[in-house]
Structure 1
Amino acid sequence: MRTKIISAVVLGLGISSAAVADTEAMMQAAGAELFNKCTACHTTDTSKNAFGPSLVGVVGREAASLPRFAYSDALKNSGITWTEENLRKWIAGNDQFVPGTRMRHVEITDKAEQDYLLAYLKSLK
């Protein structure tokens, strides 16, 4: 949705759709850089989990739904689907969003950094 809105505004200003694609690519690249912090525990390999589950396809997925990973009871019972809004809450403070989760505390409160990370996570399909 955000990309469509940006596209409409940008095109209305006479900026090409290629510029919009470049913006999205830049956001994904910035998100990939931020994701480097996450790779200590998470993988982008769909065939395996690491200390944390693979994050390929995480956007739109039900929480605690990947096989072969021992999720906390708190996350298994959360009923969460990883929408952009829920991922943003998780990124801003996972231990506040889902008390009792086993994942160590994460706190990225800068909205731009959240946007970058979400753009990258959406690209993992």
Structure 2
Amino acid sequence: MKSIALSAFFVLAAASSGVAGDADAGRAVFRKCAACHATDPVNRVGPSLAGIVGRPVASFPEYGYSSAMIAFGKDRVWDEGLLAEYLAAPRAMVPGTAMAFAGLKRPQDIADIIAFLKGVSAAQ
């Protein structure tokens, strides 16, 4: 639990200090996610990430979200800060989530993938 808190601290510190994300580098980082998630409006094992930045949590159509994610998502929107925190430790942030991915440990990877996801529109 201590390492999760430390990871979250570094992610939030990086985000607040203006670490710029690189969308091209984020495309490469996204390969870690692509087995379960798509950037076009199609669900796979996980929900589509098309248009995720600014979208209400657990809201992509026709995806069966876990009850844990539905409860977590109540009145929340995926903004850059929430995504950064979640991507650092998904299972710690949402206990009971179906997402098996342990998280991204490097703040730069998180900033990069968010920059990439910001460019992925819901209409693609």
* TM-score, length of structure 2 as denominator length: 0.76
Answer yes or no: is 1:94 the counterpart of 2:94.
Answer: no
Aligned to 1:110: 106
Aligned to 2:60: 66
Could you list the per-position Cα deviations for residues 37-93 of structure 1 after superposition, in whole angstroms to 9, with x for gaps in the alignment? 1110001121x2111111010001111111111100011111231111110111100
User: Which structure has the larger Rg over C-alpha atoms?
Assistant: 1
Answer yes or no: is 1:32 the counterpart of 2:27.
Answer: yes
Distance 1:104 1:53 in 2: 13
RMSD: 1.9
Aligned to 1:45: 40
Distance 1:105 1:55 in 2: 15
Aligned to 1:82: 78
Structure 1 runs (4+) deviating above 2 angstroms are none
Aligned-pair CA distance for 1:123: 0.6
Distance 1:88 1:60 in 2: 13
Greater share of residues in helix: 1
* TM-score, length of structure 1 as denominator length: 0.76
Structure 1, gaps ≥5 residues long: 7-22
> Structure 1 vs Structure 2: percent identity of aligned residues?
36
Distance 2:105 2:54 in 1: 21
Greater RCO (CA < 8 Å, at least 6 residues apart):
2
